Chain A
Amino acid sequence: MIRDITIGQYFNSTSPVHRLDARMKIILTLIFIISIFLCKNFASLGLMVAFAFFIVLLSKVPLKMVLKSMKPIAIIVVFTSLLNIFYIRGGTPLIDWKFIHITSNGIFTALFMAVRIASLVVVSSMLTYTTTPTMLTDGLEKLLSPLKLFKIPVATLAMMMTLALRFIPTLVDEIDRITNAQKARGANLDDGNFIQRVKALVPIIVPLFISSIRRAYELADAMDCRCYTGGPGRTRMKQMKFHASDFVSLGIMAIFIAGIVVLNHFFGAVLVK
């Protein structure tokens, strides 16, 4: 289960998507996420899914890995869809039996929600699949640097994020190791009711916390030893630069948004007021 969480993972490859500037990729991802919620009908939704698919292909990240990142959210998607089907009113009533009322609006909202959540996860995992954590936080730091004017310690926050991302795989490995060790002592993690299962997690959580704290101290010492003070005066070895391809990608994104707006206008909204 824990292995399925792929957000924050990087897939090493050389593709046009990998080469884009991290700042541009963050901006493009944000625009894309907004566009996901702009779609009002199946035509624009289809365009959005197709474009997401195109990005995945372009990035050379295996489809299998991308699908894997959807596994943990499958339950959420199904759950919200079901809720939508049964609770959304309006549109043509399809079933009207005792306490079950299903309307066309409910079905459509459920469908839209499912596709939107799935695309959201795919697109945001594309960002982390194609950008190393360091590049990502460097990009974020640059993008957020105007906030320094308001005395927000952007550099420190960016460093915290880099470290947090850096330690995700380490902690996943650690959980694996501890789980195996406790399984070897007969810990039963898969059976029993909810309370029993939560109790069964104690032998894993406690060692995990202890080792995380130990790692944090060790890391702090290591950073101290290398005279890390953070904040002002810290320069970068790799300077970020926008290239022509970054502006081309921005142009493609603009055309895509225009397409969605046009399709929305042409085919009208699916949901009926």
Chain B
Amino acid sequence: MPVLVLDGVTHLYNKGLPTEKKAIENINLSVEKGELVGIIGHTGSGKSTLMQHLNGILKPDTGTVIVDGADIWGNKKAVREARFKVGLCFQYPEYQLFEETVYKDIAFGPKNMGLRDNEVNKRVLRAADYVGLSRELLDKSPFDLSGGEKRRVAIAGVIAMEPKVLVLDEPTAGLDPRGRDKILDMIKNYREATESTVLLVSHSMEDVARVASKVLVMNKGKVEMFGTVEEVYAHSGELRKIGLNVPQVSKVFEILKSKGLDLGTVYTVDKAAQLILERGGAVK
């Protein structure tokens, strides 16, 4: 059974004003448990609006959002439950930190869930492990940490609620390559360890290719494509038309193929390196 279903979701901004605009239109989507879906699209394609519907921060003007079999707008309690079932981590989440210590900040979500202290404690420590925060850091003020560490604290704050679906909006934005790698590895490990569902909003085709099992392409408020990484990235022409691009390494391999050296199709640098090495070995 799919853990997350969107059925005909439409959202209008400035409803009733002359500036009324359809932010997203008739979105139908079904995500199975354990999938890691990358959501890509141009700025203003409706990615962030879509995301805010998943845990009931925005209410769809038409359509339903079903999480774990329950319509999140079914009753008042359902919305609040959806907040915990779907953990939403916004862009630049480090700006939401407010507590005196890292520990307290991570504990904010679980405490709001009304959990007991020892359960909160367990979850905070587990979340800190997932994002790779050492124990010494937990007693520090979050404002004394580096940018990358702050980001990981904020993500831990969402993970600590142990949501069924984790949604991350541009978790790697503004980080250096090493920080980016850390976050992506962390997402991968987290999903494998918890078998939970993860949605990753990004405009980096490389990032999505590295971790996602499926890709959702948004364009002008609509779903343009939804399929496996291979299926979607095979349509490089259409992607280019809506202002997106396949990863650089894929392009290099495409050009090599057109010049007569067919090494297969790749989306990540690691895979490319592996293919090249294999080819080298075979020639020997």
The answer to whether the Cβ of A203 comes within 8 Å of any Cβ in the partner chain is yes
Structural contact, A185 and B143, CB atoms closer than 8 A? no
Structural contact, A210 and B143, CB atoms closer than 8 A? yes
Assembled-state Cα–Cα distance A187/B114 (Å) = 11
Residue in chain A with minimal CB distance to B87:
A184
The answer to whether the Cβ of B83 comes within 8 Å of any Cβ in the partner chain is yes
Selected from A178, A183, A185, the residue in CB contact (under 8 A) with B161 is: A185
Selected from A178, A184, A202, the residue in CB contact (under 8 A) with B57 is: A184
Selected from A186, A188, A207, the residue in CB contact (under 8 A) with B96 is: A207
Q: A184-B55, A185-B158 are in contact. Are A178 and B83 (CB under 8 A)?
A: no
Selected from A181, A202, A203, the residue in CB contact (under 8 A) with B93 is: A181
The answer to whether the Cβ of B66 comes within 8 Å of any Cβ in the partner chain is no
- Cβ of A62: which chain B residues have Cβ within 8 Å of it? 17-18
- Cβ of A187: which chain B residues have Cβ within 8 Å of it? 108, 112
- Cβ of B145: which chain A residues have Cβ within 8 Å of it? none
In the complex, the 5 A-B pairs of residues with the closest C-beta atoms, listed nearest first:
A186-B112, A206-B98, A184-B88, A185-B109, A181-B96
Q: A184-B83, A186-B113 are in contact. Are A64 and B17 (CB under 8 A)?
A: yes
A28-69 contacts to B, CB under 8 A, are 62, 64-65
The answer to whether the Cβ of B41 comes within 8 Å of any Cβ in the partner chain is no
- Cβ of A211: which chain B residues have Cβ within 8 Å of it? 95
Structural contact, A186 and B18, CB atoms closer than 8 A? no
Minimum Cβ distance to chain B for residue A194 (Å): 19
- Chain B positions 161 through 201: 1 when the CB is less than 8 Å from some CB of chain A, otherwise 0: 10000000000000000000000000000000000000000
15 more A-B contacts (CB under 8 A) besides A183-B83, A184-B57, A188-B112?
A: A62-B18, A64-B16, A178-B96, A180-B57, A181-B95, A182-B108, A183-B57, A184-B55, A184-B88, A184-B90, A184-B158, A185-B109, A187-B108, A207-B97, A210-B143
The answer to whether the Cβ of A265 comes within 8 Å of any Cβ in the partner chain is no
Q: A62-B17, A62-B18, A64-B17 are in contact. Are A185 and B112 (CB under 8 A)?
A: yes
- Cβ of B109: which chain A residues have Cβ within 8 Å of it? 185-186
Q: A188-B112, A207-B98 are in contact. Are A177 and B90 (CB under 8 A)?
A: yes
The answer to whether the Cβ of B60 comes within 8 Å of any Cβ in the partner chain is no
Q: Which of B90, B98, B109 has the most CB of A within 10 A?
A: B98
Q: Can you list 23 A-B contacts with CB-CB less than 8 angstroms, sorted by A residue number?
A: A177-B90, A178-B95, A180-B57, A181-B90, A184-B87, A185-B109, A185-B157, A185-B161, A186-B83, A186-B109, A187-B108, A187-B112, A188-B112, A202-B98, A203-B96, A203-B108, A207-B95, A207-B96, A207-B97, A207-B98, A210-B95, A210-B143, A211-B95
Minimum Cβ distance to chain B for residue A107 (Å): 35
Assembled-state Cα–Cα distance A35/B108 (Å) = 53
A162-207 contacts to B, CB under 8 A, are 177-178, 180-188, 202-203, 206-207
- Chain B positions 101 through 131: 1 when the CB is less than 8 Å from some CB of chain A, otherwise 0: 0000000110011000000000000000000
Minimum Cβ distance to chain B for residue A92 (Å): 45
The answer to whether the Cβ of B267 comes within 8 Å of any Cβ in the partner chain is no
The answer to whether the Cβ of B26 comes within 8 Å of any Cβ in the partner chain is no
The answer to whether the Cβ of B52 comes within 8 Å of any Cβ in the partner chain is yes
- Cβ of B98: which chain A residues have Cβ within 8 Å of it? 202-203, 206-207
Q: A187-B112, A188-B112, A203-B108 are in contact. Are A182 and B96 (CB under 8 A)?
A: yes
The answer to whether the Cβ of B84 comes within 8 Å of any Cβ in the partner chain is yes
Minimum Cβ distance to chain B for residue A236 (Å): 31
Assembled-state Cα–Cα distance A206/B95 (Å) = 10
Minimum Cβ distance to chain B for residue A174 (Å): 8
- Cβ of A182: which chain B residues have Cβ within 8 Å of it? 96, 108
- Cβ of B143: which chain A residues have Cβ within 8 Å of it? 210
Assembled-state Cα–Cα distance A177/B91 (Å) = 9
Residue in chain B with minimal CB distance to A181:
B96
Residue in chain B with minimal CB distance to A186:
B112
Assembled-state Cα–Cα distance A188/B77 (Å) = 12
Q: A180-B57, A203-B98, A206-B98 are in contact. Are A185 and B108 (CB under 8 A)?
A: yes
Assembled-state Cα–Cα distance A210/B80 (Å) = 28
Minimum Cβ distance to chain A for residue B119 (Å): 14
Assembled-state Cα–Cα distance A185/B17 (Å) = 32
- Chain A positions 111 through 133: 1 when the CB is less than 8 Å from some CB of chain B, otherwise 0: 00000000000000000000000
- Cβ of A186: which chain B residues have Cβ within 8 Å of it? 80, 83-84, 108-109, 112-113, 161
- Cβ of B52: which chain A residues have Cβ within 8 Å of it? 180
Residue in chain A with minimal CB distance to B96:
A181
- Cβ of B112: which chain A residues have Cβ within 8 Å of it? 185-188
Minimum Cβ distance to chain A for residue B206 (Å): 26
Q: Which of B52, B83, B84 has the most CB of A within 10 A?
A: B83
Minimum Cβ distance to chain A for residue B142 (Å): 10
Assembled-state Cα–Cα distance A230/B93 (Å) = 36
Assembled-state Cα–Cα distance A204/B76 (Å) = 23
